[in-house]
Amino acid sequence: MPTRAVAGPVSSTDFRIMTIRSNLSSAVGNTPLLRLNHASSLTGCEVLAKAEFLNPGGSIKDRTALGLLLDAEQRGLIRPGGTIVEGTAGNTGIGLALIGASRGYRTVIFMPDTQSREKIDALRIAGADVRLIPAVPFSNPQHYVHVARAHAGQLNEAKPGSAWFANQFDNTANRDWHENTTGPEIWDQTHGKIDGFVCSAGTGGTLAGIGRALKARNPHVKIALSDPTGSALAHFITHGELLAEGNSISEGIGSSRITENFKDAPIDLAWSIPDQESVPLLHQLLRDEGWCVGGSSGVNIAGAIRLARELGPGHTVVTVLADAGTRYQAKLFNPALLHEKAIPVPDWLEHAFPG
């Protein structure tokens, strides 16, 4: 999105040139690349991460929401004043609600009732009509994605053209947007000196899109999947079949199926990451480096460390800090729950929430 630089009289404490964003959509993306100091020193590599929690809606899914909505507008799939309908674990819904409101749309979100209270509240604050659905397998017709699709169909039957189902999992405008924006940002920010990229997958749009963009510029860049236990994707990449084992407290990542966005993603390596490995990394990142990030970011950091060790010292590895840890306070920073799940609890967290 275009920006304009404005110069004028300033005080000694002002910036001499200010970048003005004309609307919410133009504030999405162009996030900074952060050095993860602990991961870098641990591996002898430069381990970097895109600070996606700095997007206006607080997550990388703002990019997904914007890409899907712009594509729908360009193709005439949504009309002015129409209704956006989506099935989401939360973050894409938040992005759609905020960006949609700024562009004149209302939003109806169907999501599993197992998601964090913080995300449910954030959706409602953003103005979305939130419908909580019992968590069931994708094969069940009552799965939140199927219910969302059916609701959009009902709205269009009553008033043709009044609703648009965003379909983030299988609408490849998701992947294409990351291929055209997020991937090139990473390439430019590293000046093309990147040896590997790794992140988790839910819809698969981020990993597939960024992977395609980087491989197009340098086919030797290694692309890796960092998958939480309980997801079937890592086993699929490694063994060619969908098989899930274990479980995870992470939200919004992992899958039991191959989405259209994930299909044909150029993935070289994949790992299944247990909570006992990923959660302590996000605790360490907060305590020692000040970045408060969510569970998927812990999975991503664990994958970045594994990929860096696979490549060896001296390489540059990039991952994603997808959203903020404050959206998962009741899980990630709850000593009682962490003890119950056999996840190490740092002393400072025990002291912060005694008893």
Show pLDDT as tens, one digit a residue, over the chain (355 residues).
Answer: 444 433 344 444 444 556 888 899 999 999 999 999 999 999 999 999 999 999 999 999 999 999 999 999 999 999 999 999 999 988 999 999 999 999 999 999 999 998 888 989 999 999 999 999 999 999 999 999 999 999 999 999 999 999 999 999 999 999 999 999 999 999 999 999 999 999 999 999 999 999 999 999 999 999 999 999 999 999 999 999 999 999 999 988 999 999 999 999 999 999 999 999 999 999 999 999 999 999 999 999 999 999 999 999 999 999 999 999 999 999 999 999 999 999 999 999 999 888 6
Would you call 119 a catalytic residue per the annotation? no
Q: What local confidence, expressed as pLDDT, does residue 16 receive?
A: 53
Q: What local confidence, expressed as pLDDT, does residue 355 receive?
A: 66
DSSP 181: I
pTM of the predicted structure, to 2 decimals: 0.92
**Residues 107-113: contacts with CB within 8 Å, 24+ apart?**
107/83, 108/83, 108/84, 108/148, 108/151, 109/85, 109/148, 110/85, 110/86, 110/144, 110/145, 110/147, 110/148, 110/151, 111/87, 111/144, 112/144
Give the span between the Cα atoms of 330 and 98, in whole angstroms: 24
Give the span between the Cα atoms of 236 and 256, in whole angstroms: 10
- 350 — alpha (psi -120 to 50), left (phi > 0) or beta? alpha
Give the span between the Cα atoms of 155 and 137, in whole angstroms: 25
Domain residue ranges of the chain, discontinuous segments joined by +? 24-54+182-352, 60-165
Domain at 24-54+182-352, CATH from 3.40.50.1100, 3.40.140.80, 2.10.60.10, 3.40.50.300: 3.40.50.1100
Check 61, 119, 215, 222 and give the catalytic one: 61
Asked, colleague to colleague, whether 24-54+182-352 and 60-165 share their fold, the answer is yes
3 state SS of 70: helix
- Which CATH class name applies to 60-165? alpha beta
Q: String of b and e for 211-231 (b: at least 16 CB within 10 Å)? A: bbbbbeeeeebbbbbbbbbbb
